[in-house]
């Protein structure tokens, strides 16, 4: 089985978020960039587990510049077999999806596993877009994925519970929590990653559908109103009369 | 020209998140001086669908094909896109809920439309383009998305806009998209619904607790408080990971993202990963023994105290308040 896993580079969760150029650009100064957690912990690890069980190959694809090499090597160290980097600074999610779809069209993947969202733009976009560009079935918010005889059995989140569905491969899956347990690369993996193939390809020209015109940080820190633990009734009064939520 | 909203039904009932999407669609249509139309896929009564008129929908396109009773992203994308093209819609609105999060990006590709995932306000039109605000960096900032194409897809964050109901009934028309059996890629084998509880993603009030509860045996007052308020229960990652609470209750960066009107956090320190899942809540109450808990910085109201003491008192006070009103 041949599996493709798109990976994104994002600011670490604990990063201080700041903007420059009159609030039109994210300020990367002093920010640590990491592999997007749902891509790494769930999508990539589940892809490797499926390969270990059934044989095949796991390819990671990343759209970004040369400074992303560290996270690509990490994906190889965790257990991906080879990597493709599309050499471009992505302009929007559609651009990224178009690059991934263009690559996938030239290879016959049985399965594409993406993370459900990236933690920077929280957009849940790329998996669905790739599926539509390739005219493939897609299931998102996936918590369980088993493959047997070319059919995926999937548990996905729905409102108030989960649903189990079967879909014939090839398809796209968007992974979330519970799909797999995060793996820490071991020394053998890290050494091996240095010699695994990383192909750099140019980007396809793609229409820019969206532009972020400005960013805003919250105006001020929230003022917390403290209520004494001996006067809990006051909290109930405030929630009723001031906040009007109960 | 028209604005088309995708309205989901479940067991024949319109989902709450979809009422918000339809209302949002009607507001956009009003701003553009055009009609608000909705598309519904699957079994539902004409009476139920006509109620969309109360949130400004003029016409409902209803495809009652029973194959739509199960969600399949490929089939739904095809049908909603066909409805959008047929109605000449320039804006398609969906809820940014479980199904919308997948459907919207597919539809945007199919329609070659610019897309904003998780809008928190109405769009501002400027000629052919529009800008829409959305949360970014897990709620730590907002961004203005400019949609550069003639056709636009907007997925609206649940609980961003409270629908104002008016009078009126929508006209319901039959819609028969051309569907082949091969368009329906997913075969649903079953669902596992948490019964007797309010789904967390739909809840307006949420009572949540974490490690400060000291053990799973101490959750009684949390559940009692939730029941009293008609609230859903949630928890932090730490307690879901040690199986004090079920995983579906976990809110935060790697769990559910929720935006209730009231979020009461008991014994949760408020690490940035947890805040990422709840900082869209309208009002946050924090109860914690540690005055330095970072959660107080994000709270509207705080009580520094022990959950074991404060929560039972809170239950008594809410009971008194309920009796008085």
CA geometry: angle B296, B300, B304, nearest 5 deg: 45
Q: Please, which residues 31-50 of chain A have a Cβ atom closer than 8 Å to chain B?
A: 37-38, 41
The reply to whether residue B201 touches residue A160, judged by beta carbons under 8 angstroms, is yes
pLDDT by residue for chain B (325 residues), tens only, comes to 899 999 999 999 999 999 999 999 999 999 999 999 999 999 999 999 999 999 999 999 999 999 999 999 999 999 999 999 999 999 999 999 999 999 999 999 999 999 999 999 999 999 889 999 999 998 889 999 999 999 999 999 987 888 999 999 999 999 999 999 999 999 999 999 877 677 887 789 999 999 999 999 999 999 999 999 999 999 999 999 899 998 889 998 777 888 899 999 999 999 988 998 898 899 999 999 999 999 999 999 999 999 999 999 999 999 999 898 7
Q: Which helix (H) or strand (E) holds B262?
A: strand B262-266
The DSSP secondary-structure symbol of B256 reads B
Helix axis angle, A93-106 to A126-134, nearest 10°? 40
A170 interfacial to chain B (CB closer than 8 Å): no
A91 interfacial to chain B (CB closer than 8 Å): no
Q: How far apart are CA A40 and CA B268, in angstroms?
A: 27
- Topology annotation, domain A2-212: Rossmann fold (3.40.50)
Domain range B200-324, CATH architecture: 3-Layer(aba) Sandwich (3.40)
A177: nearest CA in chain B? B254
DSSP-derived secondary structure for A1-13:
-EEEEE--EEE-T
pLDDT > 90? residue A98: yes
The reply to whether residue B114 touches residue A210, judged by beta carbons under 8 angstroms, is yes
Choose, out of B191, B247, B298, B302, the residue to mutate when testing the contact with A (most A CBs < 10 Å): B191
B130: nearest CA in chain A? A210
CATH assignment, B2-183: 3.40.50.620
pLDDT bin (cut points 50, 70, 90) of residue A15 is confident
Q: How far apart are CA A99 and CA A90, in angstroms?
A: 10
Query: Taking chain A, what is the end-to-end CA distance rounded to the nearest angstrom?
Result: 54
Q: What residue segments make up the domains of chain A, in order of their start?
A: 2-212
Q: Please, which residues 220-239 of chain B have a Cβ atom closer than 8 Å to chain A?
A: 229
Let me know if the fold of B2-183 is the same as that of B200-324.
yes
The reply to whether residue A19 touches residue B141, judged by beta carbons under 8 angstroms, is yes
Q: What is the CA radius of gyration of chain B?
A: 21
Region of A152 (left: φ > 0; alpha: ψ -120 to 50; beta: rest) is beta
Q: What residue segments make up the domains of chain B, in order of their start?
A: 2-183, 200-324
Compute the count of residue pairs across chains A and B with CB atoms less than 8 Å apart. 268
Q: What is the ipTM of this complex?
A: 0.93
A219 interfacial to chain B (CB closer than 8 Å): no
pLDDT > 70? residue A221: no
- Chain segment A43-62, per-residue pLDDT in tens: 999 999 999 999 999 999 99
Cis peptide bond prior to A170, omega within 30° of 0: yes
Cβ B4 vs Cβ B93: under 8 Å: yes
Nearest-CA distance from B51 to chain A in Å?
Answer: 22
């Amino acid at each position: 089985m041949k599996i493709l896993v798109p990976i994104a580079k994002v600011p670490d969760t604990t990063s201080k978020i700041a903007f420059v150029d009159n609030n039109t650009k994210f300020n990367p100064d002093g920010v640590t960039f990491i592999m997007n957690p749902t891509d790494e912990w769930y999508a990539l690890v589940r892809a490797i587990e499926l390969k270990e069980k059934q044989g095949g190959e796991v390819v990671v694809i990343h759209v970004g510049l040369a400074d992303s090499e560290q996270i690509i090597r990490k994906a190889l160290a965790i257990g991906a077999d080879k990597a493709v980097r599309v050499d471009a600074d992505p302009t929007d999610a559609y651009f990224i999806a178009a690059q991934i779809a263009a690559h996938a069209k030239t290879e016959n993947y049985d399965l594409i596993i993406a993370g459900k969202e990236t933690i920077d733009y929280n957009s849940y976009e790329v998996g669905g877009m790739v599926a539509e560009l390739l005219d493939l079935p897609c299931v998102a918010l996936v918590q369980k994925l088993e493959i047997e005889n070319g059919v995926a059995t999937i548990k996905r989140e729905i409102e108030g519970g989960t649903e189990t569905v079967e879909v014939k491969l090839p398809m796209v899956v968007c992974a979330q929590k519970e799909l797999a347990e995060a793996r820490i690369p071991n020394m053998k993996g890290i050494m091996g990653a240095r010699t695994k193939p990383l192909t750099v390809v140019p980007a396809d020209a793609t229409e820019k559908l969206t532009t972020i015109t400005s960013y805003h940080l919250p105006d001020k820190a929230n003022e917390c109103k403290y209520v004494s633990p001996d006067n809990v009734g006051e909290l109930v009064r405030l929630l009723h009369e001031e906040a009007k939520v109960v | 020209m028209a604005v088309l909203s995708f309205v989901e039904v479940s067991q024949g009932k319109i989902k709450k998140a979809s009422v918000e999407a339809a209302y949002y669609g009607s507001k956009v249509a009003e701003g553009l001086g055009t009609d608000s139309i909705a598309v519904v896929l699957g079994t539902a009564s004409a009476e139920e669908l006509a109620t969309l008129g109360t949130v400004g929908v003029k016409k409902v396109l209803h495809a009652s094909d029973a194959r739509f009773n199960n969600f399949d992203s490929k089939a739904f994308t095809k049908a909603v896109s066909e409805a959008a093209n047929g109605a000449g819609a320039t804006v398609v609105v969906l809820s940014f809920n479980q199904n919308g999060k997948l459907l919207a990006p597919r539809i945007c590709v199919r329609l070659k439309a610019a897309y904003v995932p998780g809008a928190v306000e109405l769009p501002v039109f400027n000629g052919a383009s529009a800008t829409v605000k959305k949360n970014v960096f897990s709620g730590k900032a907002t961004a203005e998305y400019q949609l550069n194409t003639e056709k636009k897809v907007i997925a609206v964050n649940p609980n961003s806009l409270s629908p104002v109901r008016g009078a009126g009934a929508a006209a319901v028309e039959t819609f028969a998209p051309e569907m082949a059996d091969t368009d329906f890629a997913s075969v649903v084998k079953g669902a596992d619904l948490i019964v007797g509880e309010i789904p967390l993603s739909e809840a307006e009030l949420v009572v949540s607790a974490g490690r400060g509860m000291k053990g799973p045996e101490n959750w009684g007052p949390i559940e009692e408080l939730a029941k009293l308020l008609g609230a859903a229960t949630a928890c932090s990652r730490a307690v879901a990971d040690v199986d004090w609470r079920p995983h579906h209750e976990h809110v935060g960066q790697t769990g559910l993202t929720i935006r209730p009107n009231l979020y009461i956090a008991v014994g949760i320190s408020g690490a940035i990963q947890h805040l990422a899942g709840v900082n869209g809540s309208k009002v946050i109450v924090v109860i914690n023994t540690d005055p330095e808990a970072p959660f107080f910085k994000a709270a509207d109201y705080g009580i520094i105290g022990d959950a074991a003491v404060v929560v039972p008192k809170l239950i008594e006070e809410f009971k008194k308040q309920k009796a008085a009103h």
